Amino acid sequence: MAVDTEQVDAPVCAELEAFLHHIQMERGLSDNTLLSYSRDLTRFIEFLDQRGIDVLSAALSDAQGYIAKIREQGLKDASIARHISSLRSFYNFLTLESILTANPMILLRTPRRYRPLPHTLSADDVKRLIESTDVTTPLGIRDRALWETMYGSGLRVSEAVAVEFGDMDSNEGWLLVRGKGQKERWVPMSRQSRQWTDRYLREVRPLLGKDASKSRRLFLNARGREFTRQGVWHLLKQYAVRLSPPLDISPHGLRHSCATHLLEGGADLRTVQEFLGHADISTTQIYTDVDRSYLKEVHRTFHPRG
């Protein structure tokens, strides 16, 4: 990924370029993640420059002042935590490369993040959403295949729009998914997903225009071009608001719902972690809070003293 060096002061440009190159090569991060690092660190460098402080001379107190400033500007805890992580990683790199003798940001504290429970749909609401597609129309068939695949395989929207022809084995029921940092995993496809995706490929995709034949992406928009994440988000919102009563759902909400329904059905946490492509099981554990509410409901309903 090329870094826009015009956004970074000349004295520190080499260090930032080297850091971004390092994390791209060593950690295989996505372009979006690299851009986040670049923006966060450029913002910090500009903060230092306004105060006449060189990036290699910055102290912990300078970073704390920067964090206080961006908090005053209304950044949420999740964004602040990302900025702190960027600073720690950058200065750790400078230390490992012997550019600095010690990491001045090692004691920079991350704010406690409130992690709200994911918004999930009931299985009935998922069914209502998916079956609201008009499968008498070509685009309705495409949408049915898309929703079945996203929910059935627990995909992130970025993963869904990146699926290619060669990634799907509908005979065996497996889908190759490219997750964060281009990490690959195989996930099962549901029977409904296989059925509707096969139909979409046979009956609909060939009709989406000449651009469709040029793309290896599985799901395309009405003009035969590759879907964007925003395009899928808007399409799902259109379906959700047309229902009666309407649903509050996003593409990530379908993924949340898939994970929750797996746990409710008896799947163990480690299996769900692998299925979702979470590097850390603590990310998956948030779903156990949702599952506990279901457990409480079951206990209240069926226990003789519930």
Q: Which residues are catalytic?
A: 156, 180, 252, 255, 278, 287
Residue 154: left (phi > 0), alpha (psi -120 to 50), or beta? left
Rounded to whole angstroms, the Cα distance separating 155 from 158 reads: 8
Contact (CB, 8 A) for 225 and 211:
yes
Residue carrying the six token digits 């750790």: 92
Q: State which H helix or E strand residue 174 sits in.
A: strand 174-178
Contact (CB, 8 A) for 99 and 15:
yes
Three-class SS state of 185: strand
Rounded to whole angstroms, the Cα distance separating 37 from 51 reads: 22
Amino acid at 209: G
CA distances 195 to 149, 169, 219, Å, are: 10, 12, 15
